[in-house]
Amino acid sequence: MKSGKYYDAVMLAVKKLRDNPGHDSSLDILKSAYPKALDTHLGAIKKLEANASGFYWEEVVGHYQKLNEMYWQISQCTQCLNAVDARAFDDQENGAREKAAEARYTEGLTWLSRQTREDARQAYGHFEKARDLYPQYKDVETKLEEAYRLAVFRVVVEQVQVTSKVYQLSNQYFQERINDFLRSNGHQNKFVRFYAPDEAERARITPDHVIVLQFDDFVVGQTLIENNTETVTRDSVKVGETKRGDKVTPVYGKVTAKFTHSRKTVVSGGVLDVLIEDYATRKPVLQDKLGGQYTWTCEWGSFTGDERALSAEQRKIAKQQELVPMSPQDMFIEFSKPLYDQLTRKLKTFYQKY
C-alpha cells in the first residue's frame, strides 16, 4: 500500500482476513487501500475514455476486471464486507467489453475487405480478439471462418509409397503415424493446414502445396554373423582334495576352457524421398532424402572344458540361445520410426515461414 499498489494491498489483506478474521492490521490496510484502489482504477478509466486512443476499451475492460475481482474477493469474506462498502461493476465491464469487441470487429472487417491471405490473417487476429472479449458479438464466429478460409495455407500429403521388387512390405504403421500428424495439423501455426488426399477431396479444396513421400533405396535384413573363440584360464581353483589321516586338504590349480562368443547382427535401413511441389505450377519447392536405420542383434555362446574358467559374463552368454531375427515387416517398421521423426521436424521447420 505504501508503494501505491492498492489493488495488490486489497487482495493480500482480504486473503489474510479470510484465513484469520481477527488480523487487525490487515483490516486497517483493507479499510485504507480499497477506497484508494477504487479511485485509482476509476480515474484511469476516465483518462482512457477522454483520450480515446487505439483499442483503449480493452484497457478499460482490464480496470473493470480488477474492480470486479476486488468486489468478488471481498464478498467472500464477512469481516471484509463489514469493513468497506465494496462496489460491483459488472454492467460497466460488460459494456466496455462490447465496445472493445466492436472496435476489433470493425478493424477486422477493414483487413478482410482487402481479400489477400496476409490481410485475412490480420483480420482473423482482430476477430479472434473480439470473440475473446465478447463471445456473442454479432456474427464474429462467421467472420472468423471467412477470414480463416482466406488466410489458411493448404498442404495435401499424399499416401506414402513403398517400392520393392524383393519384399511385399506394408507401410501401414508409417502411414498411420503420418495420419496422426495430419489430424493434429502438424502442431503448426494455425494458418497452415495439412490434409490427407481423401479429406481434401471431400472438402473440395485446392491445395497450395502437395507433398509426395516415397520409400526407396532400402535393404531389410542384411545379416552378419561373427564368432570369436578364445582360450580362458583361471588360477587358484579347487581341483581336488588330499587326505592324510583325518585331515582333508583342498588342492588348487589352473582350469581351462575354450569359449566361443557369437553375435548375429541384422541391419535394415532405407531412404525416404520427400518432395514438396507447388500445386499450381507443379514445380518442386523442396526435395530431400531422409535416411533411417535399425540394427537387430543377438548374442549367444558355447564352451568346452571347465566352466569354472569362465567369467560371470561369459557364463551368462553361454546360457543364451541363438534367436530368430525379426520379420522383414517388423524391421521395416523399426527403421521407419526415426524417419517419421526427421520428416515431421522438417515439415514443421519448413512451414514456419508460411
Answer whether residue 186 shows pLDDT above 60: no
For residue 184, report the phi and psi dihedrals to the nearest 5 degrees: -90, 5
Cα 188 to Cα 208: distance, rounded to the nearest angstrom = 16
Is the Cβ–Cβ distance between 121 and 153 less than 8 Å? no
Is the Cβ–Cβ distance between 261 and 317 less than 8 Å? yes
What pLDDT, on the 0 to 100 scale, is given for residue 216?
Answer: 78
- The DSSP letter of residue 204 is T
Is the Cβ–Cβ distance between 67 and 87 less than 8 Å? yes
Is the Cβ–Cβ distance between 13 and 26 less than 8 Å? yes
C-alpha Rg value of the chain to the nearest Å? 37
Instruction: Render pLDDT for 203-253 as a digit per residue (tens, 0 to 9).
Output: 999 999 999 999 876 787 789 999 999 999 999 888 888 888 888 888 889
| pTM score of the predicted model | 0.75
Question: Hey, is 159 helix, strand or coil?
Answer: coil
Cα 135 to Cα 215: distance, rounded to the nearest angstrom = 48
Cα 68 to Cα 310: distance, rounded to the nearest angstrom = 80
- The DSSP letter of residue 185 is G
Cα 263 to Cα 208: distance, rounded to the nearest angstrom = 51
Instruction: Render pLDDT for 117-135 as a digit per residue (tens, 0 to 9).
Output: 999 999 999 999 999 999 9
Among 65-69, 105-109, 160-164, the minimum mean pLDDT is found in: 160-164
Residue type, 317: I
